[in-house]
Amino acid sequence: MWVNPEEVLLANALWITERANPYFILQRRKGHGGDGGSGGLAGLLVGTLDVVLDSSARVAPYRILYQAPDSMIYWTIACGCSRKEITEHWEWLEQNLLQTLSIFENENDINTFVRGKIQGIIAEYNKINGIREDDDTEKFKEAIVKFHKLFGLPEEEKLVNYYSCSYWKGKVPRQGWMYLSINHLCFYSFLMGREAKLLIRWVDITQLEKNATLLLPDVIKVSTRSSQHFFSVFLNINETFKLMEQLANIAMRQLLDNEGFEQDRSLPRLKKKSPKKVSALKRDLDARAKSERYRALFRLPKDEKLDGHTDCTLWTPFNKMHILGQMFVSTNYICFTSKEENLCSLIIPLREVTIVEKADSSSVLPSPLSISTKNRMTFLFANLKDRDFLVQRISDFLQQTTSKMYFDKEISGSYNSSDDEVYSRASSIISSSPQRSLSSEADGERQFNLNGNSIPTVTQALMTMYRRRSPEEFNPKLAKEFLKEQAWKIHFAEYGQGICMYRTEKTRDLVLKGIPESMRGELWLLLSGAINEMATHAGYYEDLVEKSMGKYNLATEEIERDLHRSLPEHPAFQNEMGIAALRRVLTAYAFRNPNIGYCQAMNIVTSVLLLYAKEEEAFWLLVALCERMLPDYYNTRVVGALVDQGVFEELARDYIPQLYDCMQDLGVISTISLSWFLTLFLSVMPFESAVVVVDCFFYEGIKVIFQLALAVLDANVDKLLNCKDDGEAMTVLGKYLDSVTNKDSTLPPIPHLHSLLSDDLGPYSEVDIFRLIRTSYEKFGSIRADLIEQMRFKQRLKVIQTLEDTTKRNVVRTIVTETSFTIDELEELYALFKAEHLTSCYWGGTSNAIDRHDPSLPYLEQYRIDFEQFKGMFALLFPWACGTHSDVLAARLFRLLDENGDSLINFREFVSGLSAACHGDLTEKLKLLYKMHVLPDPSSDQEEPDSAFEATQYFFEDITPECTHVVGVDSRNKQGADEGFVNVSVKSEKGKKNSQENRNYLRLWSQENKSKAKNAKDLPKLNQCRLSRRGKATLRRHRRGHRFGAKQQPHFSA
């Protein structure tokens, strides 16, 4: 192939010149081809150097160099894997360029012409084949060719990156190259004639660790179910390991919910000065990782993409300081966070921005940028390195935001005069969504009011309607609540209010002291980021409720069962209004996200959200909870909760080592963590205390839940160490949690489940919830969000692979009694069946991957394959996969096994067909062949053959018009007949008498076969074709004594 001209330092080192002319040289790599072959010491040495030095000659042993006359500089312009390929390029050069080059007199003109000509050829080839020139660098393209050639993978398998490293095979390190693709981890080494090759699928990896040993400071350990592999001597082990983590996470996501990898084609073009070894996929994955951290840091919607970030300073008017930090710019948001943790952070949605302008620079304030918002707040950034470029990017995103809002308003038909004024001003870009401030909104006056249609929905928080007020009894508490409200109002006046307020350590302190009852719903929306999704999806919930009303499925049935179990002690859910609101929110979410649908514990959390937020707000809070803050917690297998259970066990081992072994022996951690985490302590603590935990959770995330759980265990260390069984330990923890009180709460006491527990330990003294939270921060506040994410990755691999193993065991246990395969054979078949499904997800298939894998289905039906996949497995496993009619047989068997006609077969159907073909006796095999070749008549129910004789009669009997006739193939079955199917109905004139004789004959035949079975081992074995010919001859001899056939034999294409 032609390559972009690249300078060569030593033209003759390890290369042999085979052809030459004044301008071009054709060379062959030593040890490749030629008279000496590829063997010998030279071949071993050169092959080893090619691998160790990452030489492209490992793939292309031939090359063409360009050399200007009177110059010592050479340029590679073409390379080839074979002599034929390189010869074609050489002949083209001789025919098209040699005469032209002789015309030029200047050496520079010749160089420019040759390089331009070669680059033009490459550009034309890329244009014809639809290749983007900036996708990958030349160096990386060579690596891609090498990767596909070495491991025999199709072009659909995309290489992400490759790294030099050593692979420890036994006690000997093998220096080579690790190739990381979307679906595989590969390694290749060639040292002095010894080749080492490794190919591992990411979905098979059960553990991925970065360790340090005494001999080797950095080692990456890769574990599968059957083996362990060690890699070391990396130039940049951190980059390699992070990429491996990302790719393993993608594979686990595919196993979990069939979510494959789709490359982002919207990345910016690669710059000319970019590193030589970088791929578009690597840039894509790096961008995804940065966007994921960005979204988690600022609680932004899942589809938000980070465009870039830069160092800057932010002027903070509340303390009159310039705070050093980083500005992040994405499609819909501008965010800021300080270098010093928790000092200050800021979120500015572009829908709220009115003006972005460059201020005058000065020595005190260099390169300042001013951003104004609708609520009359102005943010001043400075020390921006590339201010002009930044302003241009923000302006572009503002224009896109405005266009999108304009389009949305046009669809909804809700224009007003103020909107027209907004869009007519060219000097500024203003958001069309109103500022959601805490002070300006009264109940029932929000922007998204659902009372305008016939669907009855709750437009205010249930707590406002069902709050019991007793001023005489709760006056001191109401006074304290009033002081909290005043503290928040002062905070809003100083730091701003709404989504654009400055978030500082003082904000966190106020949250930890408890959010006032009247502000709780609004602040939950703000702190969780749910306000952003609600503001950009006007009318979405209303439409979802309307579409889901009257629909019934498994999720709605489960919701109905749990509705009256959701805070039944609270008056808001003792009547139809609260129950109906809960039903609408849960059902709407089940229809929004069918992968989750409904999971137990969602009802408890949602009922609390409805107490403090309006119905639509509660829905968006539930979305934020299930899809961002507690990922995978509420799917069918509660994977997220199991992952965090493993994380909690690791944290308990690190922070409470004296208790860890005892808790493991009792098995308590796995029991408590699910109930604590899934409901955010709402099901195990008194209600008025648990809502304070929810306050902290919406501000800090899952970190608070881990801290609080560790604090509860730490407070009960002595009593837990004396427990003799898990029941006693659960009682200790239950009594402790029930004693957690909130003395500041203005709510009436609500009976709690754990208050009914009794034992000989006696009642606990009251534990103040605010003191417990402060203790958790003091003792376990060092737990960081990034540490939790690292631990989650490790546990996610373990949990998902354990679930996969459990699924496999359940499938095998269910089907083992239905087939003749052993348990080990069924496990291998299941692994192969799943691998075939995953392979089609990697490299494409004729049907949708989501249709073939539905985790909500029973185990036996989760993975399904289409005909193209089945055909490959038929050729691999079935004994009939020989001869020219193999594909026809595969198509007929697939149609027979596809009972529901959806062009997909599940594992049970596949095994039933394979079992009959491999382990069935002659009778079962003939029945199977008979049914494969007879197309059922849609007008009548076709009875399956009662015996092997009826099947053999179809294949081998001579049919005459005197006794029987074949029913003609009608127009509906013409296609089946063309494919080799025959629609037959054998009608005998002798009727029942003849049929009875057939059965008597077969009974005798069966007895004769049984008597000969003892000698079967001594008989010579026949292959499939010889058995078929021998069977035909035998049955014809039998038919000479039993005449009930015809002279015509149907076509048998097998």
pLDDT digits (tens, 9 = 90+) for 166-215: 998 877 788 889 999 999 999 998 876 788 899 999 999 999 999 877 66
**pLDDT per residue as tens digits for the range 30-74:** 766 654 444 566 666 666 666 655 555 455 788 888 887 777 778
Q: Assign 79 to helix, strand or coil.
A: strand
If one compares 129 and 910, the residue with the highest pLDDT of the two is 910
Cβ-proximal residues to 57 (8 Å cutoff; 6+ apart), any chain: 14, 29, 32, 46, 50, 63
Whether 475 has a pLDDT exceeding 90, the answer reads: no
Residue 1044, pLDDT score: 38
Average pLDDT over residues 960-986: 41
Q: Residues of the chain with pLDDT > 70: what percent?
A: 73
271 burial (CB, 10 Å; 0-12 / 13-18 / 19+) is: exposed
Using an 8 Å Cβ cutoff, are 928 and 919 in contact? no
- The CA-based angle 18-20-21, given to 5 degrees, is 165
In 3D, which of 997, 995, 1003, 1052 has the Cα closest to residue 1028?
1052
Mean pLDDT lowest among 434-443, 539-548, 952-961? 434-443
Residue 933, pLDDT score: 80
Whether 535 has a pLDDT exceeding 90, the answer reads: yes
Long-range contacts, stretch 552-555, CB < 8 angstroms, 24+ apart: 553/590, 553/597, 554/597, 554/856, 555/587, 555/590, 555/594, 555/597, 555/598
Residue 308, pLDDT score: 92
If one compares 1031 and 901, the residue with the highest pLDDT of the two is 901
Long-range contacts, stretch 116-122, CB < 8 angstroms, 24+ apart: 118/2, 118/3, 118/4, 118/5, 118/77, 118/78, 119/4, 119/5, 121/2, 122/2, 122/3, 122/4
Q: 790 — alpha (psi -120 to 50), left (phi > 0) or beta?
A: alpha
Whether 766 has a pLDDT exceeding 50, the answer reads: yes
Cβ-proximal residues to 48 (8 Å cutoff; 6+ apart), any chain: 190, 191, 192
Using an 8 Å Cβ cutoff, are 28 and 68 in contact? no
Find where tokens 């498994």 sit: 554
Using an 8 Å Cβ cutoff, are 741 and 686 in contact? yes
1016 burial (CB, 10 Å; 0-12 / 13-18 / 19+) is: exposed
Q: Assign 15 to helix, strand or coil.
A: strand
Question: Average pLDDT of the chain?
Answer: 78
pLDDT band at residue 557 using 50, 70 and 90 as cut-offs: very high
Distance separating alpha carbons of residues 819 and 816, to the nearest angstrom: 6
**pLDDT per residue as tens digits for the range 774-827:** 999 999 999 999 899 999 999 999 999 999 899 889 889 888 888 888 999 999
Whether 680 has a pLDDT exceeding 90, the answer reads: yes
Distance separating alpha carbons of residues 659 and 255, to the nearest angstrom: 35
Q: Assign 266 to helix, strand or coil.
A: coil
Whether 984 has a pLDDT exceeding 80, the answer reads: no
Residue 310, pLDDT score: 94
Whether 531 has a pLDDT exceeding 60, the answer reads: yes
Residue 131, pLDDT score: 58
Residue 999, pLDDT score: 56
User: Of the ranges 445-459, 765-779, 821-835, 900-914, which is most confident?
Assistant: 765-779
At 1026, phi and psi to the nearest 5? -65, -35
Q: Residues of the chain with pLDDT > 90: what percent?
A: 36
If one compares 911 and 836, the residue with the highest pLDDT of the two is 911
**pLDDT per residue as tens digits for the range 20-38:** 888 888 988 876 665 444 4
Three-state SS letters, 915-956: HHHHHCCHHHHHHHHHHHHECCCCCCCCCCCCCHHHHHHHHH
Q: Assign 193 to helix, strand or coil.
A: coil
Residue 782, pLDDT score: 92
User: Of the ranges 34-48, 329-343, 391-405, which is most confident?
Assistant: 329-343
Distance separating alpha carbons of residues 662 and 664, to the nearest angstrom: 5
* Beta strands per DSSP E along 192-259: 194-201, 205-211, 219-224, 228-232
If one compares 278 and 332, the residue with the highest pLDDT of the two is 332
In 3D, which of 971, 953, 918, 962 has the Cα closest to residue 1039?
953
If one compares 759 and 483, the residue with the highest pLDDT of the two is 483
Residue 105, pLDDT score: 76
Whether 753 has a pLDDT exceeding 70, the answer reads: no
